[in-house]
Copies of this chain bind each other. A is one copy, B any other.
Amino acid sequence: MEAARGIASLGSKVVLVELRERLGGTPDSASYSSFTLDHRKVSDVLASTREEVESNPLIDVRLQSRLTAFEGKAGEFKATLTNIKGTSEVVDCASVVIATGFQHFDPGRETQMYGYYEYEDVITLVDAEKMLSAGKFVRPSTGEPPKAVCFIQCVGSRDRRIGNEYCSKVCCGVSSKEAIEIRELVPDCKVFVFYIDMRMYGFWEDRIYWKAQEEHRVNFVRGIVTEIIQKDGRLLVKGEDTTMGRPMEVTMDVVVLAVGMEPSRGTREVGPILGVAQEKHGFIELTGGSFDTVGTSVPGIFVAGAAAGPKDLDDSISMAGAAAMKAVAIARRPAVTA
């Protein structure tokens, strides 16, 4: 949406292709509560952005549609779009912005040790976000407020065994933010975050991480969790506190797994159709070097956001603006140089 409104703000036409029945991507489909450094509700921010995009006469929104074929070169691409009814149409376009995003790591896949599909009270950042956006935080198994909650960081990230070697970049920030929200909603509940490195870069350091510790008494423990088992109806979390150098056994009511990012199905599928290079996990590969954050292996095709790898909201919004600028520059380039 940000790339589309950027392009339109420069006076160019955009066709915005969306697989779902509504614009808003993962923050909408996964019912995010709030963004990490913004106190507004995600649903409000998305609603006003959606309205702005949908009412813009230069933006042609195609819901429940997907790209099914593609040919041509920069300045004169032909994109075949197919909607849910099976109707196809060929659209001429000068350039393309890929904004197909990510999906959350499925913690049942190869990390059985955390018992996500086994224990009702082991949830993910996304499940927690859904509760928080409804203004509550309870033990899923009982519906009661929890007395103790912990977050386990790097689930599906920084992990060669499962094939996701990268850091997913946003989970430390999201966990800290959710930890604050839980402390606000359930003041009696103790909240712990078990981490390897707290990657609270830039202003996240004091505006979220310090705030979580100093104002909200969230406990951050550098440690490794090796096993979660059920005991007397609660969850026994076993591992090692690596700062204190001792084994750790703590009882929790809810365990939140900080699941990382993987390329979405859309990101995996759009690459071969567009003919752009993808890195080994399936993210769209950035090939332009240090001074180009949105260029793909095909001139005229750009990428914005987590389709290009783990990106936070700032990255995604800035990349959308940069991609919009480059997409329009190609559309306006005199034909002789195309």
Chain A residues in the interface with B (C-beta under 8 A): 2, 6, 9-11, 35, 37-38, 40, 45, 49, 157-158, 165-169, 197-206, 210, 222, 242-245, 289-294, 309-311, 313-315, 317-326, 328-329, 332
Contacts and interface: CB of A to CB of B under 8 A. Distances in A.
A49 B288 CA distance: 13
A167 B200 contact: yes
**Number of copies of this chain in the oligomer?**
2
A204 B309 CA distance: 11
9 contacts: A11-B332, A38-B290, A40-B289, A45-B290, A158-B205, A165-B205, A292-B317, A318-B318, A322-B325
Nearest to A8: B329
A163 B273 CA distance: 51
B309 A321 contact: no
A202 B281 CA distance: 13
Contacts of A289: 38, 40, 45
Given A289-B45, A293-B314, A315-B314, A167 B325 contact: no
Contacts of A37: 290
B291 A49 contact: yes
Main secondary structure of the interface of A (DSSP, over half): loop
A166 B203 contact: yes
A318 B290 contact: no
Contacts of A38: 289-290
Nearest to A324: B325
A309 B207 CA distance: 13
A120 B258 CA distance: 45
Contacts of A204: 167
B202 A311 contact: yes
A92 to B, nearest CB: 21
Nearest to A329: B9
Residue with the greatest number of chain B CB neighbours at <10 A, chosen from A9, A293, A320 = A293
A325 B328 CA distance: 9
A294 B318 CA distance: 8
A202 B309 contact: yes
A205 B321 contact: no
Nearest to A1: B291
A202 B45 CA distance: 26
Residue with the greatest number of chain B CB neighbours at <10 A, chosen from A199, A245, A292 = A199
Contacts of A158: 205
Residue with the greatest number of chain B CB neighbours at <10 A, chosen from A166, A201, A323, A329 = A201
A313 B325 contact: no
Contacts of A201: 167, 169, 199, 201, 310
Given A199-B199, A245-B243, A321 B332 contact: no
A310 B289 CA distance: 21
